[in-house]
DNA sequence: TTGCTCATGTAAACTGTTACATGATTGC
DNA sequence: GCAATCATGTAACAGTTTACATGAGCAA
């Protein structure tokens, strides 16, 4: 269980409201951990009552007030304890792999458009990552290295890029295999 | 939701009991879809009452009887309908990426052993996949191609291999980044 | 006799998804 | 006037995880 930890990391990078966190989970953090606003509000409430975060009501002109959360001492401790604690093997959930394996009992060709759709989604995401990498980490001089926070954000982004490239290559392999089966019939 | 579909695929490959399915979810299918025996028993019961699977009581000598499930017509239909139906974007859950990004607010060096542990797990899994690939798909003659089921199992396995190789390379990148931050202090 | 494998389950707690609800402001 | 954005929630349901429970056989 790590939604609270993902929220702590995000709040350490910048304090914000539940709504703002939900936005961030559609971008940046959301690329390696998904959550909806309902989940976030629920967890924020629990973390507040556990003393992991502080809240501050921020009045805004012409807009509803927002409750801005920031990480408190116990939250920081909980995060650094979690960093050290071994995390179990990730649970994999790959619909498409199940579908590909299931295709042999149905019509393999029927899967082609679905695989192409996924390929498109991964291509879009890759382009998005590459643009972000160029924007945020493009102009680095070797004699003036970035700080730790930046370096670590960059290595996570490189992971996202490697993942998307791997997926696109694999989906091409799947498409070639499906086409081969089709041609053979 | 696709646990029922993963179970259908597994039962089409070979009928079996809930217990046997739970074993398979620790290997083969489990590499791209995880499930515990509790989930499996619950879903099997629902699928049985929906007529997706047939059950047969198999007495065994010296062992408890087992209830062997096999896919029925409606189950096969449900599977092929799902194969055609677009599946939403996969929800990513990567603990380690959250940890790496969180490390800048704690001690980056404290994360090194955790990353090394994950690297070891991925190396083991890669070796296991490669052994399986050599065993099941090693001796192929180009003039006698395998059947569809085999080809599709093979392409899924290639995906697993590509994933593990990508992860190991990324974890090396993470380790180099963490070491670089450590050396700089 | 201790622990492992085979075999099937229940119960409770937690997490995730979908739908609904409110209310102000900004831009077309 | 209509839709989108900002901002915070509730409610119901579905799915997942963890712990507990039973009981037989088999091997060190």
What one-character-per-residue DSSP string does B38-102 give?
HHHHHHHHHHHHTTSEEEEEEEETTEEEEEEEEE-HHHHHHHHHHHHSPPPPPPPB-HHHHHHHH
Nearest Cβ partner for B32 among A34, A89, A92: A92
pLDDT value of residue A11: 96
Q: How many CA atoms lie within 13 A of B130 on its CB side?
A: 10
- Rounded to whole angstroms, the Cα distance separating B83 from B72 reads 17
Cβ(A53)–Cβ(A47) below 8 Å:
yes
- Rounded to whole angstroms, the Cα distance separating A151 from B104 reads 9
pLDDT tens, residue by residue, B34-72: 999 999 999 999 999 999 999 999 887 777 788 999 999
CA-based nearest distance B93→chain A, Å: 5
Alpha carbon of residue A153 to chain centroid = 12
- Rounded to whole angstroms, the Cα distance separating A91 from B32 reads 8
Which among A30, A14, A23 is positioned nearest to A68, based on CA atoms?
A: A14
pLDDT tens, residue by residue, A150-167: 999 999 999 999 999 999
Q: By the CB < 8 Å criterion, does B14 face chain A?
A: no
**A 32-61 residues inside an 8 A Cβ radius of B:** 32-34
Nearest C-alpha in A relative to B110? A84
Q: Which two tokens stand for residue A150?
A: 């930046």
Average pLDDT rounded to a whole number, residues B79-85: 91
pLDDT value of residue B169: 98
Average pLDDT of the residues of chain A: 90
Q: By the CB < 8 Å criterion, does B123 face chain A?
A: no
**A 84-113 residues inside an 8 A Cβ radius of B:** 84, 86-87, 89-108, 110-111
Nearest Cβ partner for B158 among A90, A117, A173: A173
**Which nucleotides of chain C does any protein CB come within 7 A of?**
6-11, 14-19, 23-26
Q: Quick check: pTM over 0.85?
A: yes
């Amino acid at each position: 269980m790590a939604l609270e930890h993902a929220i702590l990391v995000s709040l350490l990078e910048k304090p914000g409201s539940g709504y703002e966190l939900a936005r961030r989970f559609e971008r940046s953090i959301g690329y390696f951990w998904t959550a909806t606003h309902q989940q976030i509000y629920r967890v924020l409430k629990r973390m507040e009552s556990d003393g992991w975060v502080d809240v501050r009501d921020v009045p805004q002109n012409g807009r509803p007030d927002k409750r801005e959360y920031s990480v408190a001492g116990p939250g920081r401790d909980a995060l650094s304890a979690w960093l050290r604690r071994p995390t179990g093997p990730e649970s994999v959930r790959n619909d498409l792999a199940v579908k590909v394996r299931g295709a042999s009992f149905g019509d393999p060709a029927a899967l082609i458009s679905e695989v192409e759709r996924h390929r498109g989604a991964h291509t879009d995401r890759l382009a998005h990552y590459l643009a972000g990498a160029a924007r945020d980490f493009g102009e680095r001089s070797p004699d003036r290295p970035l700080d730790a926070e930046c370096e670590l954000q960059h290595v996570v982004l490189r992971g996202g890029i490697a993942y998307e490239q791997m997926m696109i290559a694999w989906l091409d392999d799947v498409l070639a295999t499906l086409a081969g089966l089709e041609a053979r019939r």
